[in-house]
Amino acid sequence: MLKLEDSYRHKGQRRELVNVIRKKGIKNEAVLNAINAIPRHFFFDSALHSHAYEDKAFPIGEGQTISQPYTVAFQTELLEVNKGDKILEIGTGSGYQAAVLYLLEAQVHTIEFQPKLYERTKKFLPRIGVKVKFYLGDGSKGLPQKAPYDKIIVTAGAPVIPNDLLKQLKVNGILVIPVGNRVSQKMMKLTKISETKILQEEYDNFAFVPLLGTGGWR
Ligand code: SAM
């Protein structure tokens, strides 16, 4: 799948990273395999390659970050990805989360608010063999033109659960979204049991950059 240069050293560091994430509680083997398969250093400037396999978020420009690998794994595990799922990701950023979903054989639609990140990632992911659909715009209200989705993942911190996202889910669909204030958010999993019934589950606190736009922080 990936056409840039990987190395034994990076592969070893990736196996270590997977061990770290496993010890923190991630159990889904398909998710762990995806993290193991994706050279995260490709998503970094070459000057920062030595940091790519630390379990940390990192700046990617425009005041944004590539999420911590554990966070990516946690959100992906909650999403219960099945082969062929139609997934909307809100917050393309570096494209790393989108690449994980692609390796899990989902059909990925990803939307980004910042034009520079959109342009950069839209060029970059195809170069490493990752095929997803890119959109530029405010994803805080979802992407109604491609709805409904099996799953929706929000990778920025929201002040509330945007009702539009629940509307764009299929019945039995899952929304994973961090909700809270600008500094700390609780990870939430919402399962649409029927057109009118939502099962809401809450998990640990995380620290995401803010979800901007009309359904986010204005
Ligand atoms: N998923 C990304 C990755 O794997 O690198 C992490 C992204 S970063 C934590 C959050 C991203 O959400 C940023 O790129 C930010 O520009 C984007 N964002 C914030 N508000 C948004 C909105 N309303 N619509 C779309 N993207 C948004």
The reply to whether 24 falls in a domain is yes
Give me the number of domains the chain comprises. Answer: 1
Q: What pLDDT does 55 receive?
A: 97
Residue nearest to atom 7 of ligand 1 (CA): 93
Residue whose CB lies within 8 A of the most ligand 1 atoms, among 155, 182, 218, for a mutation test: 155
Identify the CATH number of the domain in which residue 121 sits: 3.40.50.150
Catalytic residue among 67, 94, 140, 184: 67
Give a yes or no: residue 151 inside a domain: yes
Instruction: Kindly report the average pLDDT of the chain as a whole number.
Output: 95
- Domain assignment present for 134: yes
Residue 47 falls inside a structural domain: yes
Domain that holds residue 89: 8-206
pLDDT number for residue 5: 76
Which residue did the predictor score with more confidence, 202 or 65? 202
1 within domain boundaries: no
HSE-CB at 183 with a 13 A cutoff on CA atoms is: 0
Count of CB atoms situated within 10 Å of the CB of 62: 15
- 94 among known catalytic residues: no
In a domain, 183, yes or no: yes
For 9-56, write each residue's pLDDT tens digit. 999 999 999 999 999 999 999 999 999 999 999 999 888 888 999 999
**Alpha carbon distances (Å) from 49 to 10, 87, 158:** 9, 29, 30
Going from the Cα of 92 to the center of ligand 1, the distance in angstroms, rounded, reads 5
Q: How confident is the model at residue 218 (pLDDT cuts 50, 70, 90)?
A: confident
Ligand 1 pocket: which residues have CB below 6 Å?
Answer: 64-67, 90-91, 93-94, 96-97, 111-114, 117, 138-140, 155-156, 208-209, 211-213, 216
What's CA 39's distance to the chain center, in Å? 16
- Read off the pLDDT of residues 93-140 as tens digits, 9 standing for 90 and up: 999 999 999 999 999 999 999 999 999 999 999 999 999 999 999 999
110 located within any domain: yes
Token pair belonging to 217: 């922080």
ipTM for this prediction: 0.99
For 217, list phi and psi in degrees, rounded to 5: -85, 120
Answer yes or no: is 92 within a domain: yes
